[in-house]
Structure 1
């Protein structure tokens, strides 16, 4: 099965590819259902496709908002732009957009969006007659229904199914609540997620008095769904005839994409689902379920709205033999020695971490590994103000930074300058775009990282 990953921006694109996606789906600044994502400009699309294709990865572009006549006025030009960029497929939900795509981009495959709620073979055959080569299945379908649909279809019609991420309480995502309550149209990419809000009953003659819809002091989450997690059931999806499995999350950050894609890639390649299931607890998520595949998915009752066990602290920029191990600034500090250490990893700081802390590393070609932070160095840029560093005990100047003209190496106890470079000794080789994280149990994790 193809592993299809979300790419809400450049960093997510790079991580999806680094951790093993076979294809990515993304959007430009128009016609996509995730306007809050970074997305890509039209001018960037050729570069996006070139980068993905250089790594053997296909690019699918979403053009799946609900279309007005005004929206369709520019569609011919837009689909022609996608064809010139070399896009492999477009994901459309509107019938008019489907026809325009076939006319303006005849070399680009057309995939039917889940927004179209296609859940029977007769409907799929009609769409196929109009040029659709793949059906992104309605999320309400069971595995039994998918298997029956597959049995009734010719093999050349592909089936794609969501396997991980947020679920929507509206039928195949076609929701009016956000527009009505928040003035933000979900069907044009501006969903405010009011289904996640807490609700209570108010009687019009008793304003300010809130009555729970359920007997719970927290109120009711009658429209809020759990997140999907099908990592342990990939064989069932394959047996049902699914050709491509899709991870939801174009509004998610790079760490989410990396960790989830990594887990699914390892299991698809023969790894133990049980061994990789814990990896999916490290990212921000609601309680997990298996969607509608085995019956009623249940609801998120708000006991845990979002949870994660880890926080990304650094992105690996590179790794090389540790030439600083013999520096005079370190020789007197026996506590900083790393036995048999051959490498020094250079990282881009994303969140704070300290000398001596134990970090976890996720790499696409290995199980999760751990390493202590030893001989931590800040690579201060040419514009950094260092006059008070040693006086205030904030660090110890080692000397010029050979990797940056005008830069300075400073031995420090904490990496706390977001998006600045640090390095430290590690006992094994790492590669660009590997991720370093730390366990942060019990913290309010927020939505994405």
Structure 2
């Protein structure tokens, strides 16, 4: 058993209420999300005041915390809206703001003094001197720049107050720009990445033009599909839990507020089990193969360990898309008996299919779909309609809240 290190928090993303519930059901200690303003992701639904209050209540009942992203780089015309936004967040019960801008940092102290202030990765904290200054200004946590290797994190941990928490990303998409500060999207599309509206031009395919050959382009080729010059690999640190803990990381952050509730469930569950296993087993800890395999069941780019070991993520130069081996086909709404479950369909599957189940307890298992029946009692051979409610007979009990997957051919 590990006793000489603090057990890190599992911090999960939520772009909407379904994602929030997935994070809480699969073991998150805290969830980071955005209100309707000042968040670095505009694509998700995000949370209005009523939803934010509900989110805080749900989290607190489970002993979890809510961190609200307030990490855009606001312009002058946005500053007057900070007071109402922060006062409402405090009234809802928010535990922490994640902040990149010093003006916003000072406003939070004034308008929401009961809410902790965390420094966003966008602030680019790369050394203990900056971390100490921010702590002295009132920060309770720094989310380090993603460019920092583990040995420097350990040095920083030794040279900042023990009360200052260190949060680091452990999983998800990497940005080609420093700490996520990017002007390429704004320059090429008019969509401001620093206000949460990134068009992700780093994922696009690029070609070379020669000025005297108008209308002709020349691929800069790695493969026949062209070259994706800036398309970074995804971060995955599931195999390096001991190193992160020993470096002094207080919070393991999973990227993905624009991703699905299924993604949140799988990633939260994997890191929850890995951390719990390490603290239970100590020096004898070995990552269970099924935990690593779970992270292959979500859509992802090629995995990498980022900058943690002194290297860099590198680019996926042959394509701009995702690797996807499994489809999320259903959510179990209710277990009626040991062989009967009420499900809501997400993707098509058939009677007779072998399905992969991830229950709230977190250890996956397989079932066989033996029959499907609609709400009006009609038997069907497949589940073709998204969000359709069906009764499924199978050969093992499927707990309520389970996500059900099917391996792609």
TM-score, normalised to structure 1's length? Answer: 0.85
CA distance change for structure 1 residues 351 and 218 in 2, over 3 Å: closer, same or farther? Answer: closer
Aligned runs of 1:201-216 on 2, under 5 Å? 201-214=208-221, 216=223
- Specify the alignment match of 2:397 in structure 1: 429
The yes-or-no answer on 1:417 pairing with 2:409 is no
Structure 1 residues 9 and 416: CA distance shift in structure 2, 3 A: same
- SS for the counterpart of 2:404 is strand
Unaligned 5+ runs, structure 1: 322-341, 380-407, 442-449
Residue equivalent to 1:305: 321
| Cα distance in 2 for residues equivalent to 1:234 and 1:84 | 36
Equivalent residue number for residue 29 of structure 1: 36
Once the two structures are TM-superposed, the CA of residue 414 in structure 1 deviates from its matched residue by 1.3
Q: Which residue of 2 aligns with 1:388?
A: none
CA distance in 1, matches of 2:288, 2:271: 8
Task: Tell me if the contact between 1:121 and 1:152 (Cα under 8 Å) persists in the aligned partners.
Answer: yes
Which residue of 277, 289, 304 maps to 2:304? 289
Change over 3 Å in CA distance of 1:207–1:436 after alignment to 2: same
Write the distance in 1 (CA, Å) between the matches of 2:139 and 2:231. Answer: 32
2:156 equivalent to 1:140: no
Looking at structure 1, the residues matched to 56 and 289 of structure 2 have their Cα atoms a distance apart, in angstroms, of 35
**Structure-1 residue corresponding to 2:157:** 150
> Residue 88 of structure 2: which of 47, 71, 81 is its match?
81
Higher gyration radius (CA) = 1
1:21-420 map, 5 Å: 21-214=28-221, 216-270=223-277, 272-294=287-309, 295-303=311-319, 305-321=321-337, 342-379=338-375, 408-420=376-388
Contact 1:34 1:251 in 2 (8 A): yes
- Aligned length in residues: 393
CA distances 1:242-293 after superposition (whole Å, capped 9, x unpaired): 0000000000011111111111111111172533111111111100000000
Give 1:124 shift.
Answer: 0.7
| Structure 2 unaligned blocks of 5 or more | 1-7, 279-286
Distance 2:371 2:209 in 1: 60
Q: Do the aligned residues in 2 keep the contact of 1:287 with 1:305 (CA within 8 Å)? A: no
Greater mean alpha carbon deviation, residues 364-373 or residues 211-220: 211-220
CA RMSD, Structure 1 to Structure 2 (Å)? 1.4
Q: How big is the shift at 1:362? A: 0.3
Distance change (3 Å), C-alpha of 1:31 and 1:172 = same
SS of match in other structure, 1:257: helix
Give distance in 1, aligned partners of 2:276 and 2:156: 27
Distance, in Å, in 1 between the alignment partners of 2:109 and 2:83 is 10
**1:409 shift after superposition:** 1.4
Structure 2 distance, partners of 1:162, 1:273, is 21
Pairwise CA distance, 1:54: 1.1
The answer (yes or no) to whether the contact 2:371–2:394 under 8 Å persists in 1 is no
SS at match of 1:354: coil
Instruction: Determine which structure has greater relative contact order: mean sequence separation of CA pairs < 8 Å that are 6+ residues apart, divided by chain length.
Output: 2
Aligned counterparts of 1:181 and 1:417: Cα–Cα separation in 2: 38
| TM-score, normalising length: structure 2 | 0.93
